[in-house]
């Protein structure tokens, strides 16, 4: 008996479409904890500010044309819970007809929010989406309230160090002894220097969304203004966050060499060569390229491909390497085709492991040219869109560069990489 014929495709079926990154914004990043600038600010309000700013910057985008809102958070509880993509959409003033969802891939939450909604756009399920992430590590420290299955350790699925990110970074140093503490401290100092220069020259700043904050004040100050706001009887005053809180301009290698190594006696990971605990949010508009042109939305960059890969959780920092190799195989590109890199600086050792693998110098000017998370901070699930936002703005200045890459390591042993194409590329060979 002959097999039944395959039914024809439905008339509405679509081929893969080009996906573009329109624009990304972020709040200034704060230090986590009671003394941080967001200590009295809700996590959901942070990401709502970012979404509202996107809509304000793009009046050509009718709010009802947004098909999806995907917001990531690593600790999905409290003011980072309740399907935050949906609640943030409502609070931002999007029509109630616009759906939303929450997503979690630890540090790569916002990156996954982008790739997931981009896949829907490419398939034809959406025309326009908003994707981003938020992390308030002051209110929700990483790992708060989790209950790891004891078999993860008892059955020797992972080493106990796999659940502490700083210890996984020490493990990475063990695996690659040529990556010395001196190299990581030098990389960290350069990150601070490049970030400070980028702020001074206006490279970092235009993407920031000012955020009204509630700040603790001393009783004697309650009747006076605090950063432009009055003090209340509750001991809180209004403030305005306009710049990143974590950076330490002027940091030297000599200063970094004196810091304690909290994860191991005489170790190599310090507060100076790793990103800190931070609060902040990001959001970006993604669109089908034809729809973007129809509405007059700018095209910051075009998605080429993405890939995620798993590695041993004990050395999660190596994750960007297999993720990138996997993506090169799928796209037919190579490391020589990449003209700009935005690599998340969770730990300096993780970035250097990536650079060593691909034969790139520690101080290559293509890498994190405006500094990175060691300077500005890493509010976990939000950081992927920060990388993309910076790359898109760098593309606009570099028509000689055709392809750029955003990549990051991910807790519990993963890596994620996204390759983007510069729509301003003019065909020159300056990138190489």
Pair 348, 395 in one domain: yes
Mean pLDDT for 409-414 is: 97
49 plus 132 within the same structural domain: yes
Tell me the two tokens of residue 57: 């910057």
> Do 224 and 302 have their domain in common?
no
Q: Is the same domain home to 384 and 299?
A: yes
The pLDDT mean for the chain works out to 93
410 and 300 in a single domain? The answer is yes
Longest dimension (CA), the chain: 90
Using an 8 Å Cβ cutoff, are 50 and 23 in contact?
no
347: helix, coil or strand? strand
Least confident of 160-164, 201-205, 294-298, 308-312: 160-164
pLDDT (tens digit per residue) in 62-109: 999 999 999 999 999 999 999 999 999 999 999 999 999 999 999 999
In a domain? residue 112: yes
Q: Which of 180, 353, 186, 374 has the alpha carbon at shortest distance from 275?
A: 374
List Cα–Cα distances, 192 to 94, 189, 195, 373, in angstroms: 37, 5, 5, 9
Q: What is the pLDDT of residue 131?
A: 99
Q: What is the pLDDT of residue 221?
A: 47
| 265 within some domain | no
Share of the chain above pLDDT 70, in %: 91
Based on the fold, state whether residues 306 and 227 are members of the same structural domain: no
- pLDDT, position 156: 86
CA 20 to chain CA mean position, Å: 17
Q: Does 283 reside within a domain?
A: yes
Q: Are residues 223 and 281 in the same domain?
A: no
* Helix (H), strand (E) counts: the chain: 12, 14
- Asked whether 14 and 126 are in contact (CB, 8 A), the reply is no
In a domain, residue 11? The reply is no
d(CA 130, CA 329): 29
Cβ atoms of 22 and 298 within 8 Å: the answer is yes
Contact 356, 323 (CB under 8 A): no
Residues 235 and 360 reside in one and the same domain:
no
Instruction: Based on the fold, state whether residues 234 and 290 are members of the same structural domain.
Output: no
Query: Is 429 among the domain residues?
Result: no
310: CATH: 3.40.47.10
> Is the distance from CB of 113 to CB of 130 less than 8 angstroms?
no
Structural element, H or E, at residue 339: strand 338-343
Which pTM value belongs to this model? Answer: 0.93
Nearest one of 252, 273, 286, 243 to 119, comparing CA atoms:
286
Range of the domain at 355: 19-140+276-417
Q: Are residues 412 and 283 in the same domain?
A: yes
Catalytic residue set: 107, 378, 409
DSSP 78-143: GGG-SSHHHHHHHHTT--TT--EEEE-BTBTHHHHHHHHHHHHHHHTS-SEEEEEEEEETTTS-TT
Residue-wise pLDDT tens digits, 16-31: 899 999 999 999 999 9
Is 266 within the bounds of a domain?
no
The total number of structural domains in the chain stands at 2
Q: Report residue 231's pLDDT band, with 50, 70 and 90 as the boundaries.
A: low
pLDDT category of residue 15 using cuts at 50, 70 and 90: confident
Contact 225, 202 (CB under 8 A): no
Residues 136 and 280 reside in one and the same domain: yes
Please tell me the distance from the alpha carbon of residue 354 to that of residue 335, in angstroms, as a whole number: 11
In angstroms, how far is CA 53 from the centroid of its own chain? 18
Where is the domain boundary, 219, 242, 265? 242
- Residue 160: count of CB within 10 angstroms of its CB: 10
- One domain for residues 232 and 313: no
Report pLDDT digits (tens) over 258-271: 999 999 999 999 99
List the structure tokens of 43. Answer: 């996590």
Is 172 a member of any domain? no
What pLDDT was estimated at residue 11? 57
Distance, CA of 258 to CA of 249 (rounded, Å): 17
Residue 335 maps to a domain: yes
């Amino acid at each position: 008996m002959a097999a039944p014929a395959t039914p024809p495709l439905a008339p509405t079926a679509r081929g893969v479409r080009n996906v573009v990154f329109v624009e990304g914004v972020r709040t200034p990043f704060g230090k986590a904890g009671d003394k941080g600038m967001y200590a009295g600010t809700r996590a959901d309000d942070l990401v709502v500010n970012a979404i509202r700013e996107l809509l304000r910057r793009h009046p050509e985008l009718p709010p009802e044309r947004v098909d999806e809102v995907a917001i990531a958070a690593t600790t999905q509880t409290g003011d980072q819970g309740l399907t935050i993509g949906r609640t943030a959409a409502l609070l931002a003033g999007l029509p109630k007809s616009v759906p939303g969802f929450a997503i979690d891939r630890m540090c790569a939450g916002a990156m996954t929010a982008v790739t997931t909604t981009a896949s829907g756009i490419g398939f034809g399920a959406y025309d326009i989406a908003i994707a981003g992430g938020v992390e308030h590590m002051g209110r929700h420290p990483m790992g708060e309230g989790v209950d790891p299955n004891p078999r993860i350790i008892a059955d020797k699925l992972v080493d106990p160090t796999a659940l502490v990110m700083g210890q996984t970074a020490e493990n990475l140093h063990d695996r690659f002894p040529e990556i010395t503490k001196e190299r990581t401290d030098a990389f960290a100092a350069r990150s601070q220097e490049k970030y400070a220069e980028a702020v001074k020259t206006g490279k970092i700043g235009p993407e920031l969304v000012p955020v009204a904050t509630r700040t603790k004040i001393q009783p004697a100050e309650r009747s006076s203004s605090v950063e432009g706001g009055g003090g209340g009887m509750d001991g809180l005053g209004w403030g305005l966050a306009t710049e990143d809180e974590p950076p330490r301009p002027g940091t030297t290698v000599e200063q970094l060499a004196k810091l304690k190594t909290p994860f191991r006696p005489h170790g190599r990971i310090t507060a100076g060569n790793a990103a800190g605990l931070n609060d902040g949010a990001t959001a970006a508009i993604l669109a089908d390229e034809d729809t973007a042109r129809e509405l007059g939305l700018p095209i910051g960059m075009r998605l080429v491909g993405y890939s995620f890969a798993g590695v041993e959780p004990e050395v999660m920092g190596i994750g960007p390497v297999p993720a990138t190799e996997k993506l090169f195989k799928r796209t037919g590109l190579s490391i020589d085709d990449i003209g700009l890199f935005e690599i998340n600086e969770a730990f300096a050792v993780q970035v250097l492991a990536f650079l060593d693998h691909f034969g790139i110098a520690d101080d290559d000017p293509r890498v994190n040219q405006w500094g990175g998370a060691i300077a500005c901070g890493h509010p976990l699930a939000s950081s992927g869109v920060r990388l993309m936002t910076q790359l898109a703005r760098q593309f606009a200045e570099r028509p000689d560069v055709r392809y750029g890459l955003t990549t990051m390591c991910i807790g519990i042993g993963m890596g994620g990489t996204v390759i983007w194409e510069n729509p301003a590329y003019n065909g020159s060979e300056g990138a190489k």
